[in-house]
Structure 1
Amino acid sequence: MNDETAKEREIMLVMRKLLTTIVREVTPEHKSLRHPLSEQTIQDIRACLGLITAREKELADDAGRTAQERPYFVDEPPATKVVSIAEIAKPKQDEEK
């Protein structure tokens, strides 16, 4: 990954985190209370988050990574199984004739 792509990925991450934090902070705890954002602002935030997600996916695809990267616990089984060379069975050769 080149420096330009890494920087863009970092910008997308910060923007996504900022937008979601703002929404979380202005959302009232009680459902009966009205939030201070207009419906248009909510739609604009959703559009921005959609564009950020789409660009993050493009960057991940270009870098050969999955867009669904997520943290995992060390005791969590890996998504793929690693096989050592010693475990690979040698192909059976035709017995001598």
Structure 2
Amino acid sequence: MPKITYVEHGGAEHTVEVPLGSTVMEGARDNGIPGIDADCGGACACSTCHVYVDPAWTGKLPPRDDMEEDMLDFAYEPDPERSRLTCQIKVTPELEGLRVQMPEKQI
């Protein structure tokens, strides 16, 4: 299982193993990591699983689709390059070492 590091807004880091085929959001939820609310349960119908992807990873992830782009308009302080919804990132072996940072708050 790939290890993914979730960084809280205050700097606390949580590195956990996330099962292949799940999403980065499910990895946070299932491991009790604070900062990812995931109110819609992964349906890409809210923006409460918003994160900033570490700059080293922005070009390594699949591109955002139109639905994710639309939902990011509702996120707290989205970044045009680094913002992603974790419910839309499927965990693959290539995500070993991924780092994501939570925003100050989810809205």
Q: TM-score range by the shorter chain?
A: under 0.3
TM-score when normalising by structure 2: 0.19
More contact order relative to length (CA 8 Å, sep ≥ 6):
2
TM-score when normalising by structure 1: 0.21
Greater share of strand: 2
Which of 1 and 2 has greater Rg?
Answer: 1
Greater share of helix: 1
